Amino acid sequence: MSSIILPKALSPEEKIVAMREDAKFEVASDSDAENTALLCADGIKGKASPPKIPKLFLASGCVFNCAYCGCRCGRDRKDNYCNTPRELASLAVEAAKNNGHGVFVSSAIYKNADYTQELIAESVRIMREELLYTGFLHAKVMPGADSLLIARTGKYADRLSVNIEVAQSSGYNRIAKQKNKDNILTPMRDISDHILEAKYERVKFATSQTTQLMAGSTGEDDRTIMTLSKALYRKYRLKRVYYTAFQYRHEAKGYENENLTYTVTPYWRMARLYQADRLLTLYGFTPDDVTPADDPFLREDIDPKAAWALRHMDMYPVEVNTADFDTLIRVPGIGITYANRIIAVRRHCAVTHDILRKLNIPLKKCRYFITCGGRYEGGDALFSENLRGYLTSCGKQLSISDSLSAGEPSTLESKILL
């Protein structure tokens, strides 16, 4: 008779260590994105970023086999763990207490999507009703999860998310074979509908949803990503799209025939995507503005707002004493905060370059695009071929150590998901 050797169950401490590794595949907050400094450096700052929160997982062994994920079933993993809803609820409440800002509850797909979603719903119920947790709670929705289970989860969560992952539907077949457009977009639509219904009926439900989108997984250009993000914000009222870099360093079991090549999407591309996203969501730019059809990739050496200004030099210089808010925020180096400061000062006196310096507005970049009372301090830049060079020299240097492995730019209309 052969004997069955059961794997040793992990202790709570060992589970937490393993969860930290799994958390790397999940971007769930602005601070995870680690690009805040770069956004600020280029004057494309948004609202204050929420603090980083701990991520706790119900289970790590997934029945799906996404090529990029550490939890995929094709991976021979020794430290797989699974929690009961009660165990997960206690771990999550404890972690939230230590962090003070909230907690994110997620999971790999354990057995199937609905079963996992039911366990997540029960975990968040215990957190709220039995452990009386009142802080911020972000809960994951599984691909293809039933609408009723989403409703049950959302009753206890503040935020829900389902990850879209790829920018082109063909990408699912290439790197996430069990996922498809329907099992991602249907839960996303359900969440959006539930949020709206709850708002009208004044019942308790999550108030926002986010998603994660990987760049570089299908050789897509940035125009494809920006167009998709804009559509997601509009159609499903997403709070945020988080961008993450597709990495494929080792051959994944089950993908031997897919011709997947070694891919390391560089850090600078994520930084530029976050900047372009801010321009879409807060500055009134369109995907065409940041990634026009004849220039569909964001650039490593120049931020997307400065790149847009270079394509529209006929609009510059603008007079800071008369320009409206929307014009001011399109000036490279002047963001929402600085535009508000300029307009506030204008009520009392004429704005000069010295006043801009006193307001801490970085003239290094914006001086090429403005006049103050008719005075221009940008030298011969406006008429110079070197303006792009001046701008790149005052932008924050992005990491260029990694190489971009992306295929040919694709035809947007034929491949975009929405």
Q: Which is nearer to ligand SF4, 144 or 287 (CB)?
A: 144
Q: Cis (ω within 30 of 0) for the bond into 7?
A: no
DSSP string of 59-81, one letter each residue: B---SS--TT-TT-TTS--S---
* Smallest separation, CB 170 to ligand SF4 (Å): 17
- Which position has the token pair 């021979």? 76
Pairing status of strand 137-140 against strand 103-106: parallel
15 touches 91 (CB < 8 A): yes
Q: Which residues contact 177 (CB under 8 A, 6 or more apart)?
A: 64, 65, 66, 254
User: Contacting ligand SF4 (CB under 6 A), which of 10, 64, 121, 398?
Assistant: 64
If one asks whether residue 248 binds ligand SF4 (CB under 6 A), the answer comes out as no
If one asks whether residue 66 binds ligand SF4 (CB under 6 A), the answer comes out as yes
Locate 221 and state its tokens.
Answer: 């250009």
Determine the Cα–Cα distance for residues 246 and 217; give it in Å rounded to an integer.
Answer: 5
Locate 97 and state its tokens.
Answer: 């207490």
Q: Which is nearer to ligand SF4, 163 or 275 (CB)?
A: 163
* Smallest separation, CB 77 to ligand SF4 (Å): 11
36 touches 30 (CB < 8 A): yes
- Which position has the token pair 């082109």? 168
Q: Which is nearer to ligand SF4, 205 or 248 (CB)?
A: 248
If one asks whether residue 184 binds ligand SF4 (CB under 6 A), the answer comes out as no
If one asks whether residue 71 binds ligand SF4 (CB under 6 A), the answer comes out as yes
* Smallest separation, CB 110 to ligand SF4 (Å): 9
Size of the site for ligand SF4 (CB under 6 A): 9
Determine the Cα–Cα distance for residues 15 and 19; give it in Å rounded to an integer.
Answer: 6
Other CB atoms within 10 Å distance of the CB of residue 68: 22
Picking from 114, 185, 186, 124, the residue whose alpha carbon sits closest to that of residue 157 is 124
Q: Which is nearer to ligand SF4, 16 or 355 (CB)?
A: 16
* Smallest separation, CB 66 to ligand SF4 (Å): 3
Stretch of 59-67, 317-325, 350-358, 406-414 contacting ligand SF4, by CB under 6 A: 59-67
**Taking CB under 6 A as the rule, which mask of x and - marks residues 83-122 in contact with ligand SF4?**
-------------------------xx-------------
Q: Which is nearer to ligand SF4, 175 or 345 (CB)?
A: 175
Q: Which is nearer to ligand SF4, 17 or 203 (CB)?
A: 17
Segment 185-204, which members bind ligand SF4 (CB under 6 A)?
none
If one asks whether residue 69 binds ligand SF4 (CB under 6 A), the answer comes out as yes
159 touches 139 (CB < 8 A): yes
Roughly how many angstroms between the first and final C-alpha of the chain, as a whole number?
A: 56
* Smallest separation, CB 57 to ligand SF4 (Å): 9
Determine the Cα–Cα distance for residues 396 and 37; give it in Å rounded to an integer.
Answer: 9
Phi, psi of 384 (to 5 degrees): -105, 145
* Smallest separation, CB 160 to ligand SF4 (Å): 15
Q: Which is nearer to ligand SF4, 69 or 387 (CB)?
A: 69
Stretch of 67-75, 209-217, 364-372, 403-411 contacting ligand SF4, by CB under 6 A: 67-75
Stretch of 69-77, 90-98, 192-200, 239-247 contacting ligand SF4, by CB under 6 A: 69-77
Q: Which is nearer to ligand SF4, 64 or 136 (CB)?
A: 64
Q: Which is nearer to ligand SF4, 71 or 95 (CB)?
A: 71
User: Contacting ligand SF4 (CB under 6 A), which of 45, 72, 240, 269?
Assistant: 72
CA 353 to chain centre: 36
Determine the Cα–Cα distance for residues 401 and 418; give it in Å rounded to an integer.
Answer: 34
* Smallest separation, CB 24 to ligand SF4 (Å): 12
* Smallest separation, CB 108 to ligand SF4 (Å): 4
Determine the Cα–Cα distance for residues 291 and 227; give it in Å rounded to an integer.
Answer: 9
Stretch of 60-68, 153-161, 186-194, 351-359 contacting ligand SF4, by CB under 6 A: 60-68
267 touches 399 (CB < 8 A): yes
If one asks whether residue 172 binds ligand SF4 (CB under 6 A), the answer comes out as no
Give 165's strand partners: 213
Give the interface with ligand SF4 as residue ranges (CB under 6 A).
62, 64, 66, 69, 71-72, 108-109, 176
